[in-house]
Amino acid sequence: MNDPLFSQLSTLGSSIVLLFGIILLWRKSLHAYIDAFRWQSVVLSVMLLITGTFSNDHELYAVALFLFILKAVVIPHYLERMEKRFGDHRELQPYVNVASSLILSGMLVLLAYVITRPLVLISDLPTRSGIPLAMGLIFVGLFVLVTRKKAISQIVGFLVMENGIALLALLGTYGTPIIVELGVFLDVLLGFLVMQVFVYHIQTTFESIEVDQMNELKH
Amino acid sequence: MIFFLLIFPSLLAALIATLVRPYRAIVGWIGAWLSLVSLGAAFAIAAQVIHGQTPIWGIVLKYVNLDQVLRADSLSALLMLCVTGVATLALFLSPGLGRQVTNPHWGELAYSPRQLRRYHIFTNLFIAAMLVAVSANNVGVMWIAIEATTVFSAFIIPLKLNKASIEASWKYILICSVGISLAFVGTVLGYFDFFTLSGRAENALNWPVLLATARVLHPEVMRLAFVFLLIGYGTKAGIAPMHTWKPDAYGESPAPLTALMSSALFAVAMYALLRWKAVADATLGRGYTDNLFLALGLLSLVIAAFSIVLATDYKRMFAYSSIEHTGLMCLGFALGPLGTFAALLHLVNHTAAKSLMFFLVDNIEHKYRSPLIERTRGLLKTMPWTGGLFAFGVMTLIALPPGGIFITEFTLFRAGFALNHPWLMGTALLLLAVVFVSFIIHLNKMLYGTPAADDINMERPTERFSWRIALLLVNVAVLVTLGLTLPAPLATLLKQSVAILAKP
């Protein structure tokens, strides 16, 4: 096995995946969000293929295929349909502005480096240096989810976070056992579908998909 | 085979509900009777477990290895009894079984056949997912099933679409999905540690394998993993500060679903946490997880106590009461074998008591126009049976004898004082006193007085004894029995579970 090459490729791949996550912080149109998510998923599937090749683990090919179909084709398709339906909605005023978002996300990635230090030290996989980036992506996805006001942006934040988890599982353990992996895909799909249904409900009930109007329920 | 009988009936019921359109009452009845099969299977599994067997089921397919995918030890059996018990009651008391279904909170609209169909499909799927979660051997599969419960229940929280219910379910699905994703990060980290030590293994996420290896796992990774798992499953269980979805979701969902969520779903999330706590304890020793549980448990009690004082809506009040009991159980699970025993028994009692309360809330909702405590007066006069049982339920929840919660809280505090936590236990007692007083005040308002004429549904005559009330007497019987004595089979089941969870 060509370990240095594999190691470099996986670090490069993880960095690209993380960058696609950070794009969400400074782009505003929903279209850019969806594109970022789609390309992120594509890179992630390629990384699964690379890891599968270098580690001789053919189950990963199947996982890569499922991931590609689900996250690079099906989900972006539905997201685009929603985008068309609601017109060109922009995330005009997120709770945190672009500059602070970028600084905060940098700090989140640093935090990820701190908390995953023991993992990187213990692991002897060639992919280990990407683990902090995966954890960073999880945090960035979470950050997008809590600071955006549009329901669709929140969904994309959630999906990016899911990608981060998939990346973490890939880099740390070459993927979880296949039965778990498939179950997770099913859950992501179902979860996405139910969220999508709710976006339509929110639109018809509140006549907007800004979630900060939701303030009926207090005590 | 026994697992088939446990899980398949609810799937079959969901299938029937999907195929029959438009919805007919017979579908609801079939689902309700099928749930008795599940209940019987749960009892059979419990009996096997008590006799020292551990039922395991699995198949090996060509590409997917499902060997030993389902397994039931005494802890699973205990949870199966709780889940199937509440599920049976909930399905018999569901809307669409022939009762006049008007819900004054939303105007005088009955549920439409489409809504009833959706309700019966997803409630049954929800129950099936919970049963898979407690019988899964693989902690990854357990995670998948718990995530599935979020999705299925989110479909039925807004059975009536309005601003409040949409808001509640959006918060619910977002907060719980994120929480559960974090639990998956924890699961991956746990697997990471195993993988690093012994390489790829399909069965590494099987709980017994995980527990057996736990001793040699890396403490620093396990610490990180457990924090993620605690936040994740803690969100689902509604431990403070991850409880924020709970009052909203409980306040807005149809009452039988709330009953399922507050008793069965909560217990399932707690169960997942306990499984991982056992693993983390084996790696780290008890101190680490215990301290986290104590801190979050106390925080839950504080938040719940003050929210109950301020509560104006009775459904939200019971949601906060759930958070209070969650806090108590967290304390119990951190207090050694005796505390764990008390907390598990408390879990059983709480399941019976909280489901009783929400089924009664269902009755009250059909009679009164408003969910506000202020406008729900004179329960004893307008609904003698519901009012009486309601008073009994509330008194049980605030730990008055003869309800079983009295015994479990007493044992729990004894365990705490025996382990030298006088300040902690003193604070907890003080908070329970706050809860006690404010519950009595709220109860007093609801039971007595005269309701304003436009607050109650006059079309419905004064309540008479019916089989629906008779079913609720089952819960009362369970609570009183557990308050007076501890049946030998249950004691065995609890002791075996304690032995699994708390190695002294």
Q: Check residue B215 and give its pLDDT.
A: 87
Residues of B in Cβ contact (< 8 Å) with A194: 151, 154-155, 173
Interface confidence: ipTM more than 0.90: yes
The whole-angstrom distance between A216's CA and the closest CA on chain B is: 6
Alpha-carbon distance A150 to B38, whole Å?
A: 42
- Asked whether residue B492 is domain-assigned, the answer is yes
**Non-local CB neighbours of B203 within 8 Å, separated by 6+ positions:** B67, B68, B138, B209
Q: What is the mean pLDDT of residues B201-205?
A: 77
- Asked whether residue B2 is domain-assigned, the answer is no
Tokens of A183: 């179950």
Alpha-carbon distance B134 to B267, whole Å?
A: 10
- Top residue of B178, B180, B252, B307 to mutate, by most chain A CBs within 10 Å, is B178
Q: Check residue B254 and give its pLDDT.
A: 85
Q: What is the mean pLDDT of residues A165-176?
A: 88
Q: Check residue A156 and give its pLDDT.
A: 92
Element housing B71 (H / E): strand B65-71
Spatial contact of A152 and A83, defined as CB atoms under 8 Å apart: yes
- CB-count exposure of residue A92 (10 Å: 0-12, 13-18, 19+): exposed
SS3 A90: strand
Please say if the pLDDT value at position A152 is more than 60: yes
Spatial contact of B131 and B84, defined as CB atoms under 8 Å apart: yes
Q: Check residue B78 and give its pLDDT.
A: 95
Q: Do A177 and B184 touch (CB under 8 A)?
A: no
Q: Which residue of B has its CA nearest to A134?
A: B185
**Non-local CB neighbours of B30 within 8 Å, separated by 6+ positions:** B13, B16
Q: Do B69 and A179 touch (CB under 8 A)?
A: yes
Rounded to the nearest integer, the mean pLDDT of chain B is: 89
Element housing B429 (H / E): helix B422-447
The whole-angstrom distance between B420's CA and the closest CA on chain A is: 33
Q: Do B177 and A191 touch (CB under 8 A)?
A: yes
**Which alpha helices (H) appear in A27-130, and where do they start and end?**
30-55, 59-67, 75-85, 98-115, 117-122
Alpha-carbon distance B429 to B280, whole Å?
A: 29
Q: Which residue of B has its CA nearest to A143?
A: B178
Q: What is the pTM of this model?
A: 0.93
Q: Count contacts between A and B (CB, < 8 Å).
A: 146
Residues of A in Cβ contact (< 8 Å) with B220: 118, 122
Please say if the pLDDT value at position A214 is more than 80: no
Top mean pLDDT of B19-23, B71-75, B124-128 is at B124-128
Spatial contact of B240 and B297, defined as CB atoms under 8 Å apart: no
Q: Do B168 and A217 touch (CB under 8 A)?
A: yes
Q: Which residue of A has its CA nearest to B247?
A: A219
Other CB atoms within a 10 A radius of the CB of residue B365 amount to 23
Which of the residue ranges B109-118, B287-296, B307-316, B467-476 would you say has the lowest mean pLDDT? B109-118
Place of tokens 């089952």: B474
Work out how many domains chain B is built from and give that number.
1
SS3 B63: coil
Phi-psi region of B416 (alpha: psi -120 to 50; beta: other; left: phi over 0): alpha
**Which alpha helices (H) appear in B378-487, and where do they start and end?**
379-382, 384-397, 404-418, 422-447, 467-484
C-alpha of A167 from chain center: 9
Which residue of B170, B193, B195 is in closest CB contact with A202?
B170
Domain that holds residue B324: 298-504
Q: What is the mean pLDDT of residues B198-217?
A: 83
- Top residue of B181, B216, B312 to mutate, by most chain A CBs within 10 Å, is B181
- Asked whether residue B191 is domain-assigned, the answer is no
The whole-angstrom distance between B139's CA and the closest CA on chain A is: 9
Q: Check residue B104 and give its pLDDT.
A: 45
- Asked whether residue B77 is domain-assigned, the answer is no
- Asked whether residue B460 is domain-assigned, the answer is yes
Q: Which residue of A has its CA nearest to B129?
A: A187
Alpha-carbon distance B368 to B327, whole Å?
A: 31
User: Is the bond into B337 cis (omega within 30 degrees of 0)?
Assistant: no
| Burial call B475-494: b when 16+ CB within 10 Å, e when fewer | bbebbbebbeeeeeebebbb
**Non-local CB neighbours of A69 within 8 Å, separated by 6+ positions:** none
pLDDT band at A20 (very low <50, low <70, confident <90, very high): very high
Q: What is the mean pLDDT of residues B91-99?
A: 81
Alpha-carbon distance B166 to B204, whole Å?
A: 40
Which of the residue ranges A203-212, B37-46, B167-176, B310-319 would you say has the lowest mean pLDDT? A203-212
- Top residue of A205, A207, A211, A212 to mutate, by most chain B CBs within 10 Å, is A205
- CB-count exposure of residue A33 (10 Å: 0-12, 13-18, 19+): buried
Residues of B in Cβ contact (< 8 Å) with A204: 161
Q: Check residue B416 and give its pLDDT.
A: 93
- Asked whether residue B337 is domain-assigned, the answer is yes
Place of tokens 């610490």: B223
Tokens of B475: 């819960």
Q: What is the mean pLDDT of residues B149-159?
A: 88
Alpha-carbon distance A131 to A152, whole Å?
A: 28
pLDDT band at B251 (very low <50, low <70, confident <90, very high): confident
Q: Do B178 and A145 touch (CB under 8 A)?
A: yes
Q: Check residue B252 and give its pLDDT.
A: 85
Q: Check residue B452 and give its pLDDT.
A: 77
Tokens of B281: 């304890």
- Top residue of A150, A193, A198 to mutate, by most chain B CBs within 10 Å, is A198
- What sign has the CA pseudo-torsion B280, B284, B290, B291? negative
Q: Check residue A91 and give its pLDDT.
A: 63
- Asked whether residue B352 is domain-assigned, the answer is yes
Please say if the pLDDT value at position B164 is more than 70: yes
Spatial contact of B223 and B128, defined as CB atoms under 8 Å apart: no
Q: For chain A, what percent of residues have pLDDT higher than 70?
A: 95
Alpha-carbon distance A91 to A29, whole Å?
A: 6
Please state whether beta strands B65-71 and B56-60 pair in parallel, antiparallel, or not at all (unpaired): antiparallel
- Asked whether residue B498 is domain-assigned, the answer is yes
Residues of B in Cβ contact (< 8 Å) with A174: 195, 200
